[in-house]
Amino acid sequence: MKIFCQKSELNKALNNVSHSVPTRTTTRILEGILAEVFEREMKFTATDTNITTEATISVSADGTDSFVIPARLFSGMVSKLPEEEVMLEYEAAKTKLKVKSGKFKAEIICFRADDFPKVRIAESDDKIYISKDTVKKLIRKTAFSASEDELNGVLTGVLTEIDEKSIRMVAVDTFRMAVYQAEAAAGRTARVIIPAKLINKVSKIISDDNSEDMMSVDIVDNKVIFRFDNNKVTVNTLSGNYIDYKRIIRKESEIEVRIKCDEIVRAIDRASILTSSQNNKLIRIEINDQELKINSLSDEGNIQEKIDVIKEGNDITIGFNARFLMDVFKVIDDEEIMLYMKDNVSPCIIKSLSGEDYLYLILPVRIN
Amino acid sequence: MKIFCQKSELNKALNNVSHSVPTRTTTRILEGILAEVFEREMKFTATDTNITTEATISVSADGTDSFVIPARLFSGMVSKLPEEEVMLEYEAAKTKLKVKSGKFKAEIICFRADDFPKVRIAESDDKIYISKDTVKKLIRKTAFSASEDELNGVLTGVLTEIDEKSIRMVAVDTFRMAVYQAEAAAGRTARVIIPAKLINKVSKIISDDNSEDMMSVDIVDNKVIFRFDNNKVTVNTLSGNYIDYKRIIRKESEIEVRIKCDEIVRAIDRASILTSSQNNKLIRIEINDQELKINSLSDEGNIQEKIDVIKEGNDITIGFNARFLMDVFKVIDDEEIMLYMKDNVSPCIIKSLSGEDYLYLILPVRIN
């Protein structure tokens, strides 16, 4: 069977599915990509059983068949092919795939398709249509706050709450929380916890491919199915009770500080030079009147920098893990932000001035 | 004592000397940079005892003193300073350096200068003046061929031969050799072996700094001193007998092949996909008439590609370690090159068609 296709399309599809190929496995076939050939299209599938990515390209083929190709070898080869025109030829009897492009020829030993794990899920009629940009933004602005420790169960996931008019993602770890809400005409309600690692992969695949604006999200049993362009990504969700994150959010704050984002980012970056190798990466923030002073200290020396702020409420001296602050400031696109504090042991809340619907919460580090 | 200087100059000087700061040491003072302050200039020195780099900048100071600053902390801090104007203030009694720039302030605990190893070498009157570009080219085109195995003694170095009119660098490892010669009105003769690791550092420092075209090279006892712009780099040489590399170079070759450099580079790159994880990275080259065929083979499959060449002499089938070929082709700037071969067990010689004076020699891998 001969298959004619374009290098650029093939390359993009293989890049997308490669995110789901497990890096280490005892089952060699899982390090492969399932290729299913129809007369006018070819579908590639890779899975590590927690995340499955399918990508379809247009081809011209003189038959139908399916087989499994070693992922790393095939992706590496395709990215380097000399010409845009590619001919693939599959010899079923020898499970061998020939690849031709210009004066380049190769043969790749494949696996039989029967052994590849295949999951068929009935999709629902209740899909949510949402812009790709919104999904990427939701993920970028929350997933970094999820726990990286597998022992923390559901907290390694991103809680995704959908109602008629909006979609909200929430990520909570021991010392911090991120909540981001975007408008979306979902037309249904749902509540699932998606592992942060997997949702970050989904975000990467979306970024790699941007021909259409909209995508669909479907929630079926314990799986979420993302469809965009010619890709379909299915991820397993986490089961369990997510914490009542709304209860953690303090309603009243005694101290409110308005800060220019780029100024505090650069000052924290400089103060961190001394403490980046310390465990708690402690920086001390002292706000007196309309002046914020950032301090850091180690046995090599000390650093101090001042920035102007607009403050209401009492003066305060409070300690933070610099990384937690930086993680938040890095994903904020606003020029200015508001910090809400109560005292130097209660969580600090970071919110928007622009009306964008985010809330970050960071627990202080105790200082003497 | 107060010192006023410019961030950009300070940053460049610290970058240059940082190449000589040892990464791991039991003597903490060696992880520091010696700063010597005079009224109008400040000199920075770092050394790992094998290579010593000095860089001088203009300052305005109200005294003279010297002290040792922790290298990583100070370099990191300076690169991030908010303003171009920098004020340093050294408190000798507390061995403490204050750094001020804009609203940024820091204090760094320093070491006393007395404990810093200081080498004073009398320079000769017999310096060689040569363009920086020529030195960088000589290093880039040869040093990669030196042995990385410390057990190989002098072969971890680059033999540098200077005569009245030219300078030549030679690097030899078990399976390959590189020779590059450039014209230079040296006006003297010399022969030294410079460790490849150190000469690569010299090359990096030269690249970081390109205000003047020319530099000087001075050979004193067992040291070579490179001077360029406001930098001085001193490296220890290796002692011992270098092999008689000229004897290895075969004068007569039965097979001569003219090849387009970019075509063979891309073909080898593709063929290497299969064999990059193999120990000997074997690719097989078959030249029949005016066609060169590159083959590679693994248990995952095989790759074959053809390119057109101009050949004189017999047909040949010969095996190579793909990395050795690629290392050579990467540093060649010519569009076409000549391969000279005798049979598939004798070294293959690569030379220029353009008149550039280089010679590379690669031992084949035995094939059946």
Express as a percent the part of chain B with pLDDT over 70.
Answer: 99
Q: In this predicted model, what pLDDT tens digit does every residue of A30-82 receive, in sequence order? A: 899 999 999 899 999 999 999 999 999 999 999 999 999 999 999 999 999 99
pLDDT confidence of residue A209: 57
Are B286 and B190 contained in the same domain?
A: no
Domain holding B40, by residue range, is 2-115
The dihedral built from the CA positions of residue B108, B109, B112 and B115, taken in this order, carries a sign that is: negative
User: Is A367 part of a structural domain of the chain?
Assistant: no
User: Is A25 part of a structural domain of the chain?
Assistant: yes
Residue A1's Cβ-side half-sphere holds a number of Cα atoms within 13 Å equal to: 23
d(CA B218, nearest CA chain A) in Å: 38
Cα–Cα dist B329/B236, whole Å: 30
Q: What is residue B102's DSSP assignment?
A: T
Domain CATH number, residue A345: 3.10.150.10
- How long a stretch of residues is chain A? 368
User: Is A317 part of a structural domain of the chain?
Assistant: yes
Average pLDDT of the residues of chain B:
94
Are B135 and B229 contained in the same domain?
A: yes
Here the tokens at position B297 are 């083979």
Q: Is B239 exposed, middle or buried (0-12, 13-18, 19+ CB in 10 A)?
A: exposed
What are phi and psi for residue B273, nearest 5 degrees? Answer: -55, -40
User: Is B122 part of a structural domain of the chain?
Assistant: no
| pLDDT-derived band at A4, boundaries 50, 70, 90 | very high
Task: Tell which of A228, A246, A264 closes a domain.
Answer: A246
Residues contacting residue A94 through CB under 8 Å, at least 6 positions apart:
none
Q: In this predicted model, what pLDDT tens digit does every residue of A162-206 receive, in sequence order? A: 998 999 999 999 999 999 999 988 888 999 999 999 999 999 999
Q: Which residues of A touch B (CB under 8 A)?
A: 70, 73, 76-77, 80-82, 96, 103-109, 266-267, 269-270, 273-274, 299-307
Cα–Cα dist B53/B235, whole Å: 9
Q: H or E stretch including A318?
A: strand A316-321
d(CA A94, nearest CA chain B) in Å: 12
User: Is A305 part of a structural domain of the chain?
Assistant: yes
Closest alpha carbon within chain A to B300: A109
Here the tokens at position B3 are 């010192």
d(CA B127, nearest CA chain A) in Å: 41
Are B139 and B200 contained in the same domain?
A: yes
Here the tokens at position B9 are 């100059």
| pLDDT-derived band at A208, boundaries 50, 70, 90 | low
The dihedral built from the CA positions of residue A256, A259, A261 and A263, taken in this order, carries a sign that is: negative
Are A253 and A242 contained in the same domain?
A: no
User: Is A255 part of a structural domain of the chain?
Assistant: yes
| pLDDT-derived band at A126, boundaries 50, 70, 90 | confident
Cα–Cα dist B325/B337, whole Å: 12
pLDDT confidence of residue B110: 97
Q: Which residues of B touch A (CB under 8 A)?
A: 70, 73, 76-77, 80-82, 96, 103-109, 266-267, 269-270, 273-274, 299-307
Express as a percent the part of chain A with pLDDT over 90.
Answer: 87
Contact flag B73-A274 (C-beta cutoff 8 Å):
yes
Residue B120, pLDDT > 70, answer: yes
Q: Is B105 exposed, middle or buried (0-12, 13-18, 19+ CB in 10 A)?
A: middle
Contact flag B77-A266 (C-beta cutoff 8 Å):
no
Write the CA distances from B191 to B163, B210, B218, B239, integer angstroms: 9, 27, 12, 11
Residues contacting residue B37 through CB under 8 Å, at least 6 positions apart:
B1, B3, B59, B61, B63, B64, B65, B66, B90
| Predicted-complex ipTM score | 0.88
Task: Tell which of B115, B140, B160 closes a domain.
Answer: B115
Here the tokens at position B160 are 């540098």
How many domains does the structure of chain B reveal?
3
Cα–Cα dist A87/A99, whole Å: 6
Are A358 and A258 contained in the same domain?
A: yes
Contact flag B301-A104 (C-beta cutoff 8 Å):
no
Task: Tell which of A196, A211, A246 closes a domain.
Answer: A246
